[in-house]
Amino acid sequence: MVRGLCIMLTVMLFQSIDAAAVLADMENFDRQRQQMVARQLRTRGIGSKRVLKAMRTVPRHLFVPEHLRDNAYADTPLPIGYGQTISQPYIVALMSEGLALEPGERVLEIGTGSGYQAAVLAEMGALVFSIEIDPQLGNRARTTLQQLEYETIRLKIGDGYRGWPEAAPFDAIIVTCAPEQIPEPLESQLAEGGRMVIPVGESLHQRLMLLTKQKGEIREQKIVDVRFVPMVDSHGKPY
């Protein structure tokens, strides 16, 4: 009887220490996230309330490998395994802002990676369609997004060069891997009035471009120079 009580008290003690540690971790990451938004995004001119709110909310540390969690809110891209990276927070914000999303709009993402960018778009109120060519990354992103209960994100494993014709047209398209030329299927799946943000060029010389479709015509505007992983086909050959 006394022994049973002791065991029960010990278990309760450990549970509360565990719970306290989890809570402290959450508060710590939350603080880092608010600082990331204030120091890396607002000071560099990200003004969209929707983007800032989304990036204040999405737990970026849950999208990076466990041993890199303490760096999740740093001003840098991070490896996510399989030779791929999650973009620097500022680039995620800049691309998201360029899409000028309204709640309920349909957005196509090429290059799901960790799923972080998709979560930011969902948090902005969009219905997200995201394609990842690497099945291991795609499946891991699916698990993460399910655990976080993002229900407005559809994932597909496949080659995003061809877009997602069955779900087109899209109000916005975001490409997070770089082809040398803008893929024609993506241009044609953009709705009238639609916006596309895409890095274009060879591995070391890419331009982040904003495309807008007006009366069937595409207008192009350069945003900034960037460095993304290449868009590849199913044999790993760059487009």
The site string for ligand SAH over 71-110 (x = CB under 6 A, - otherwise) reads: ---------x---xxxx----------------------x
Residue with token string 């001119």: 45
118 or 192: whose CB is closer to ligand SAH? Answer: 118
Q: Which of 97, 105, 134, 171 binds ligand SAH (CB under 6 A)?
A: 134
Identity of the residue, 160 or 194, whose beta carbon is nearer to ligand SAH in the bound complex? 160
Interface residue with ligand SAH among 51, 94, 101, 137 (CB under 6 A) is 137
96, 114, 144, 206: which one contacts ligand SAH (CB under 6 A)? 114
Is 87 noted as a catalytic residue in this protein? yes
Q: Using alpha carbons only, what angle is made at residue 164 by residues 160 and 170, rounded to the nearest 5 degrees?
A: 110
Number of residues lying near ligand SAH (CB under 6 A):
24
Q: Which of 97, 123, 132, 171 binds ligand SAH (CB under 6 A)?
A: 132
Establish if 161 lies at the interface with ligand SAH (CB under 6 A). yes
How many whole angstroms separate alpha carbon 60 and alpha carbon 69? 9
Asked if 132 contacts 141 with a C-beta cutoff of 8 angstroms, the reply is yes
Residues linked to residue 174 through DSSP beta bridges, in sequence order: 109, 197
| Residue 110: both structure tokens together | 């090429």
Tokens matching residue 144: 């993460």
Smallest gap from Cβ 89 to ligand SAH, in A, equals 10
| 141 Cβ contact list (under 8 Å, min separation 6) | 112, 113, 114, 115, 118, 130, 132, 155
Q: HSE of 60 in the Cβ direction (CA atoms, 13 Å)?
A: 31
Which residues are CB-contacts of 9 (< 8 A; sequence separation ≥ 6)? none
Catalytic residues: 87
Q: Which residues bind ligand SAH (CB under 6 A)?
A: 80, 84-87, 110-111, 113-114, 116-117, 131-134, 137, 159-161, 176-177, 229, 231-232
